[in-house]
Structure 1
Amino acid sequence: MVANRKKFQGVLNILSFNRHFYVIGFLILVTLITIITNLKLPNLFLWFVIGVFAYGLVTPLLVSAYVYDFSGYYSFKWLQPHINNNASVKKIVNINAGFDETSFIIKNKFPTSEIKVFDFYDKKQHTEPAIVRARKVTTTYPNTQQITTNKIPLKDKSTDLVFLLSAAHEIRCNKEKQVFLTECKRICKEDGKIIMVEHLRDIPNFLAFSVGFTHFFSKKTWKDTLLKSGFTKIEEVKFTPFMSVFTCNN
């Protein structure tokens, strides 16, 4: 399995996994245009409605193309400032929520490291259509292990680096997030760290995804949850205006 991604793979994934939103949005737009036309409302109102829907449907795709296809997210160059020495990283854990695009890339970046991959997807709780569709096309890293969010099957202080890449927000309950992140802290060595990448519920993501930004959590929510999970050093750095990299140390 190669780690190279196809051109525009990120935005095509977003469009494919969330196609139900686009179908519904298009049908609503057609319905509104029909109503406005039949009522003979002013053309200005018609173009306003078309503009609003076009913005809501197109902007998320443009932002997703920027973040996932053109920003270098999958090149992992953004990671280097957070890692002092790649050679010192012996054991890595990468945890996903049922869709894994990063484990093979991480292995390429850390060829001498031991990598364990865990998937906390729960079909009873994680029922969003986008996740279900993503799981059908994802490539599973060898020996990926299914886990629950309250138990990572590793010894205390056994891991140098834990990756949570656009995954932790799928845990919707704050209490469950705290339990999960406490487990992540437990398996980290004294000098180990967690690298968590997330969209935030903030102004840039509201402008990008409109009401869809509620699928994410605020910076305050993440920091409060991380502090309650026992982390004492939490650093947040923006990677593009739309994503944040949280580095968490014991």
Structure 2
Amino acid sequence: MKITKLVILFNYQKILLGIIVSIVLFGLSFFINSSLIVLLFRILGVLIILNIIASLVASYILYDNSDLYELNNLKGVVDWNKTENVVLVHASFDPLSKSLEEKYPNLNLTVCDIFGNRHEQEKGIETSKKIFPPNPKEIKIKPHQLPFDNRSQDVILAITALHEILDHDQRVLFFKEAKRVLRDDSLIIVSEQFRDFTNFVFFNIGAFHFLSKKQWKKAISEAGLEIAENKKITPFANMLIVKK
């Protein structure tokens, strides 16, 4: 429940607003004579509450009860015991690097925080860093300038991070840089929620926070890379295996 609690913390204002609006709609319905409007107000109030509950349940399934941060989906794709240099990219929220280092002490892991991402301004970011302290070796990066030598890295991991690169051209530049620093036959692992029907149902307008599958394919292909595989982690998130 750790990450779901953080989701609530980051979105408590929206959740509170939804509850207040729902209560107001129910309250107003008792002072309206039109049975149709009463019904509409009450249905709308119920839908708002149901949407809040659904989004929290979906968040729990995605963040606390799935393979998102376990990376078991990569069995047969990445042999961590034979992998040397790994880059982990996040957006001011890193629940993964510690467990990776504990499981695979042989990894030369570089943890990178995307400089200037939206989460840096979130009120709850300090709390999240208490729950998941930043890696002491963490460095700040700009998407268009990765501080690594050509063909020096084996895997780049970006778990729910790259959608924080808001500009399409900057995303393309990131993938071009990733291509530059990766060795031949190396991988970029991108795990993200898509702006799709399922996420609209459960997260409503929150789905606009994410990119569509088409947008990801466009950015990756423009960088001269290809999606070798698209794995479904949960109904709400996909893992893209990207190759040179």
Taking structure 2 as the reference length, the TM-score comes to: 0.91
**Mind listing any 5+ residue stretches in structure 1 that lack a counterpart?**
1-7
Q: Is the 8 A contact 2:6 2:124 kept in 1?
A: no
Report the RMSD for the aligned CA atoms in angstroms: 1.8
Q: Residues 29 and 128 of structure 1: is their aligned pair in 2 closer, same or farther, counting only changes over 3 Å? A: farther
The correspondence for 1:19, drawn from 12, 25, 42, is 12
Matching residue of 2:109: 115
State the aligned residue count.
239
Q: Is the 8 A contact 1:154 1:187 kept in 2?
A: yes
Matching residue of 2:66: 71
Matching residue of 2:29: 36
- Which stretch of structure 1 is more off in the superposition, 157-166 or 169-178? 169-178
Residues 1:126 and 2:118 are matched in the alignment: yes
Amino acid at match of 1:134: I
Residues 1:62 and 2:54 are matched in the alignment: no
Residues 1:99 and 2:67 are matched in the alignment: no
Amino acid at match of 2:128: V
Deviation string, structure 1 residues 25-67 (Cα, Å, up to 9, x no partner): 1222223223322224435334312221112211110011111
Deviation string, structure 1 residues 184-209 (Cα, Å, up to 9, x no partner): 22111112110010000111111111
Q: Is the 8 A contact 2:19 2:49 kept in 1?
A: no
| CA positional deviation for 1:108 | 2.5
| CA positional deviation for 1:149 | 1.4
| CA positional deviation for 1:233 | 4.6
Q: Is the 8 A contact 1:223 1:234 kept in 2?
A: no
The correspondence for 1:238, drawn from 217, 232, 238, is 232
**Aligned partner of residue 185 in structure 2, secondary structure:** strand
Q: Trace 1:77-226 onto structure 2 (pairs within 5 A).
A: 77-83=72-78, 85-122=79-116, 126=118, 131-138=122-129, 139-226=133-220
**Aligned partner of residue 73 in structure 1, secondary structure:** coil
Q: Trace 1:41-56 onto structure 2 (pairs within 5 A).
A: 41-42=34-35, 43-56=38-51
Q: Is the 8 A contact 1:74 1:105 kept in 2?
A: no
- Which stretch of structure 1 is more off in the superposition, 85-94 or 105-114? 105-114
**Mind listing any 5+ residue stretches in structure 2 that lack a counterpart?**
none
Matching residue of 1:3: none
Taking structure 1 as the reference length, the TM-score comes to: 0.89
**d(CA) in 1 for partners of 2:27 and 2:134?**
46
Structure 1 outlier segments of 4+, above 4 Å: none
Deviation string, structure 1 residues 61-103 (Cα, Å, up to 9, x no partner): 00111112222333321221321x2222100100111111111
Q: Residues 93 and 109 of structure 1: is their aligned pair in 2 closer, same or farther, counting only changes over 3 Å? A: same
